[in-house]
Amino acid sequence: MDFWLRAWHFIPSVVVGCVAITVLYLYAIGPLRRQYDLGPPVQRSRVIVFLLGVLIIFLALVSPLDELGDDYLFSAHMVQHLLITLVAPPMMLWGIPGWLLTPLLRNRLLFRLARVLTLPVVTFFLFNADIFLWHAPPLYDATLENEGIHVLEHITFIAFSFLFWWPVLSPLEGELGPLPLPGQVLYLFLSGMPMVLLGAGLTFVPPLYAPYLAAPRIWGISASTDQQLGGLIMWVPANILVIVLMSVLFIRWMLEQERRQEERERLAWQREEEEERLRALEQSSGEAGTGPRSEGVSENESQGTDVSLSSSTRRERPGEQSS
């Protein structure tokens, strides 16, 4: 219990960074937005989620979890990495309004750079290559022995995590917008595979990282069990999170398909109704036109017969007189 109370390390770079991000975000979506009429107000739920994402990064890096992961347990380090890559960045990205980024992208060079960096194939490669690189034993051991390298590791984790989540949660539209829903599902499915492989590998191989072999054993967890647990954390919980999000996106896609099908059926039904109405109008117009013409023909025929009779009568009268 004493460990959880004393092992808080308020690292200046982390404190200043988190405070600066929070202040800048609140200023941008508040006074700056109103002053320059940048866009509509941000939903309160999005603001709360963004701030929670910042808080998670702050707690992951200054709480006893950081010391536990650095000095004692590989598995605790994996929990920390999970928080700063798969939990906090998507929360923060979801809280950023598109109009906040649009002015920055008016610069042609920045727009071209952003267009390349946010391509799904690029984000997939950068994120997973970064994860694999830092878990190579030489580099991983170096992060535990050198604080500067450790800070660089965390910076790349967070930066590439934002890129990783961009094809799914981009706040922009057009070229820099998110993938269509089927593409998002496929992207997450494929992106989870490398972490599954790395987690499974760490679970089934002997201990790889020298600092944990020499670390004091706590809670009766051996170095081998600790690494197995860390591999399972990367393998199972991380992918459960991805699977849950994939399921949500898949359900949204199915609902959207159903809505589109209903809309197509409604439009087809309206067209059929309109065609039926036009056919009925044409039929009624045709019947109305046929009636007077028939009457006219009958009258003309009648008049013609009367004229013929009268002419015949007139021709017979002189014969009668002569007889």
User: What is the average pLDDT across 47-76?
Assistant: 96
d(CA 86, CA 161): 7
Q: What is the DSSP letter of 85?
A: I
DSSP assignment of 255-302: HHHHHHHHHHHHHHHHHHHHHHHHHHHHHHHHHHHHHHHHHHHHHHHH
pLDDT band at 3 (very low <50, low <70, confident <90, very high): confident
**Does residue 300 sit within a domain?**
no
Domains: count for the chain: 1
**Band (322; pLDDT cuts 50, 70, 90):** very low
Query: Under the phi-then-psi rule, with left for phi > 0, alpha for psi from -120 to 50, and beta for the rest, what region is 42?
Result: beta
Both tokens of residue 138?
Answer: 């030489």
CA distance 76 to 98: 35
* Closest alpha carbon to 116 in 153, 157, 163, 183: 163
Report yes or no: 228 and 73 within 8 Å, Cβ to Cβ. Answer: no
Asked if the structure places residue 32 within a domain, the reply is: yes
Domain boundaries, position 123 = 2-265
Question: Which of 159, 147, 1, 127 minimizes the C-alpha distance to 66?
Answer: 147
* 47 lies in some domain: yes
In a domain, 281, yes or no: no
Q: pLDDT by residue (tens digit) across 8-42?
A: 989 999 999 999 999 999 999 999 999 999 999 99
Interatomic CA distance for residues 51 and 235, integer angstroms: 28
pLDDT at 262: 86
pLDDT of residue 254: 87
Beta-carbon contacts of residue 56 (< 8 Å; ≥ 6 apart) = 83, 84, 87, 88, 91
Quote the CA–CA distance of 199 and 245 in Å, as a whole number.
20
Q: What is the DSSP letter of 217?
A: P
Smallest CA-to-CA distance from 242 within 144, 156, 161, 318 is with 161
Rounded to the nearest 10 degrees, how much is the dihedral formed by the CA atoms of 44, 49, 50, 53?
Answer: 160
Examine residue 313 and state whether it is found in any structural domain, yes or no. no
Residue 318: predicted pLDDT = 42
What confidence score (pLDDT) does residue 20 get? Answer: 97
Q: Give the integer Cα–Cα distance in Å for 33 and 41.
A: 8
Distance, CA of 240 to CA of 191 (rounded, Å)? 13
pLDDT in tens, 290-308: 555 444 444 444 444 444 4
Note the pLDDT tens digit of each residue in 84-108.
Answer: 999 999 999 999 999 999 998 999 9
Residue 287, in any domain of the structure: no
Residue 290 lies in a domain: no
From CA 46, how far away is CA 50, in angstroms rounded?
6
pLDDT digits (tens, 9 = 90+) for 114-165: 999 999 999 999 999 999 999 999 999 999 999 999 999 999 999 999 999 9
Residue 318 within any structural domain of the chain = no
Q: Long-range contacts of range 202-208, CB-CB < 8 Å, 24 or more positions apart? A: 202/135, 202/227, 202/228, 202/230, 202/231, 202/234, 202/235, 203/227, 203/228, 203/231, 203/232, 203/235, 204/228, 204/231, 208/137, 208/140
